[in-house]
Amino acid sequence: MRDGTIRVRVWNEYLDEQKRPEVASVYPQGLHRTIADFLDREEGITAEVSLITDPEQGLSEKQLEATDVLVWWGHVHHGEVEDRFAWRVVERVQRGMGIIFLHSAHKSKPFMSLLGASGRLSWREADERCRVWTASPSHPVAAGIPENFVLEREEMYGEPFGIPRPEDTVFISWFEGGNVFRSGVTFRREYGKIFYFQPGHETYPVYHDENVRRVIINAVRWANPAIIAGKFDCPNVEALEKIGAD
């Protein structure tokens, strides 16, 4: 942001996906790479990747200080993210870094900590059709997105979703099996903007879908902070005016 360029970091586990042919056939270099590549092609955005296997789990102070918007994808290794790194992410969001939680990131430590919520939901992996409805067409994250669009196969996530009341519900999804889900929701925590977006099961080509890509690009631009504050503290301060003047 500071020089006008949005610095994005896409974080992923990438432990199981690379061993599963049904994932590798859809995302040969990992879905973090697919996401980073389409973001990096956008004007005014540069994107890098971080993996859980990197030093400091890809969440070093240096890396986060060079990140305006963090995109988080994880599924079965949430518990292995060390608390000190999860808190580092939380603290930077509080100071202004934007964060986009994708798909199964609803059970990640940063998601549950920032929202103070369980992230619970119901799910089903049944190759079912999903129709994403744009519930807030005037929201910047919905710019250029049709009234609704279809993903031919997606993992079902269903209500009730364990989140606090969103600032905006931008998308609501319907699934072939009858469930519905608040699939695109925004929050703010102190200086930082947060967007959760449900599409993105690893065995389906969801991140190759043009509408899904547009939503993520829009969300990165929306969450880009105007400022990222220095470390917060709680100073004991002198009075500016005379106290108890008669």
Task: Give the one residue of 23, 155, 212, 215 binding Zn ion; rule: CB under 5 A.
Answer: 155
C-alpha–C-alpha distance, residues 93 and 189, integer Å: 7
C-alpha–C-alpha distance, residues 183 and 198, integer Å: 5
CB of 172 to Zn ion, least distance (A): 19
CB of 104 to Zn ion, least distance (A): 5
Number of residues that bind Zn ion (CB under 5 A): 3
C-alpha–C-alpha distance, residues 222 and 225, integer Å: 8
User: What is the 3-class SS of 156-194, one letter each residue?
Assistant: EEECCCCCCCCCEEEEEEEECCCCEEEEEEEEEECCEEE
Asked if 82 and 52 count as a contact pair (C-beta separation under 8 A), the reply is: no
| Residue 78 binds Zn ion (CB under 5 A) | no
Nearer to Zn ion, 173 or 224 (CB): 173
Nearer to Zn ion, 104 or 108 (CB): 104
C-alpha–C-alpha distance, residues 85 and 16, integer Å: 21
Nearer to Zn ion, 68 or 202 (CB): 202
CB of 206 to Zn ion, least distance (A): 10
CB of 56 to Zn ion, least distance (A): 26
Nearer to Zn ion, 179 or 224 (CB): 179
Residues 91-130 vs Zn ion: string with x where CB under 5 A? Answer: -------------x--------------------------
Nearer to Zn ion, 104 or 186 (CB): 104
CB of 58 to Zn ion, least distance (A): 21
Task: Give the one residue of 7, 92, 201, 213 binding Zn ion; rule: CB under 5 A.
Answer: 201
3-state helix, strand, coil in the chain (%, to 5): 30, 30, 40
Bridge partners of 181?
Answer: 173
What's the CA dihedral at 61, 63, 64, 65 to 10 degrees?
Answer: 80
Closest-approach residue to Zn ion (CB): 201
Radius of gyration (C-alpha) of the chain in whole angstroms? 19
Ramachandran region, residue 30 (left: φ > 0; alpha: ψ -120 to 50; beta: rest): left
Nearer to Zn ion, 5 or 25 (CB): 25
CB of 239 to Zn ion, least distance (A): 55
Nearer to Zn ion, 23 or 81 (CB): 23
- The piece of 54-62, 130-138, 155-163, 227-235 that touches Zn ion (CB under 5 A) is 155-163
Provide φ and ψ at 76, rounded to 5°.
Answer: -105, 0
C-alpha–C-alpha distance, residues 55 and 59, integer Å: 8
Binding residues for Zn ion, per CB under 5 A?
Answer: 104, 155, 201
